[in-house]
Every structure is written in C-alpha cells, then in structure tokens.
Amino acid sequence: MAARREVEIAGLHVSPVHAFEGRPSDGPRPDPEPVACSRVDVRAGLGIVGDRYFNHPAHRNAAVTVIAAESLAPWPVDPLVARRNVVVRGFDVDALARGTVFSLDSGDGPVRFEVHRPAHPCAWMDSVIAPGAFKALRGKGGVRCVPLDDGVLRTGKAELALVGT
C-alpha cells in the first residue's frame, strides 16, 4: 500500500428507503427511522447492512456511496443531507479513478472498496441544500463503490489507504 493518510469519517448514513422521489418542490420522503449511524456493518459485494441498496442487483457495483465532507463545506448543512453512505473529511474521493481500490480502517480493521463510477448529484440538492447546489456539486458528488471485504466502519478518526498503487 503506497498511499495512507489519516481522515475522519464524519458521517455514516443508512436508510431502508429512497427519500428523493417525486418532485423536489414537495420535499423528501421522511425516513422511517434515523439515518445517521455511529457504526455500520459492511458486507463484501452486498453493501451496508440495512441500506436500501444492500444486495440490490441493480446496484451491486454501486451499493456504497462515499463523499468528501469538503464538497459540502460551502453550505452550513449536515453532511448526511446528500444521502451518501460514508462522509469522509480529509481526502478528495472525487479524484479516485474507476477501478481504484481504497480501504478505510476506523479501528476494526480495513474494509476495501472498489470505485465504479461517480455519484452524480441530482436536482434535489437545490431543495435540500440550497439553490445552486446541484450545479455546484457536479464533479464533487462522491463515488459509488462495491465493498470487497466484510467489516465495520465507525465515525471518527480513520485511516484511508490506496491499495495497490
């Protein structure tokens, strides 16, 4: 592993439902339970236990979304408002190319992820963050990944490593 750095897992988001359906002017669908977590269980090839994309065939290669907290810094919002599963502070995840493998270790051992595609923002960002956020987040909406290991992630200090670089 060539590149390691200390980061912060600033937020973990798990929701069994998709809140951004219908018209943004109507507002998001309420979550049936709190979405902020201090700990999540990750399963290789499946995603995050309890999340709406866990073991969902259409999202197998995109079951976990990761965003840099810095992408949301222009707005005083909860970093989970973008509804990405993992919010990392201290690393530009949008710079990761397709096929890149990285790991996050928040104290329970490393969990590897393979980047498959960008997590493009949607028009809902103008409603839930601020007008203009949709356009401003283009290219900064995070990445969609497949987990390669079973493991646990927790909020707080963590180590991010680029694997095989």
**pLDDT tens digits for range 3-57:** 899 999 999 999 987 777 777 777 777 777 788 999 999 999 999 999 999 998 8
Residue position matching structure tokens 């996050």 = 104
The pTM assigned to this predicted structure is 0.92
Residues 70-113 have pLDDT tens digits of: 999 999 999 998 999 999 999 999 999 999 999 999 999 999 99
Spatial distance between the Cα atoms of 84 and 70, rounded to a whole number of angstroms: 13
62: closest CA among 5, 159, 144? Answer: 144
Phi/psi for 51 (5° steps) reads -85, 155
83: left (phi over 0), alpha (psi -120 to 50) or beta: left
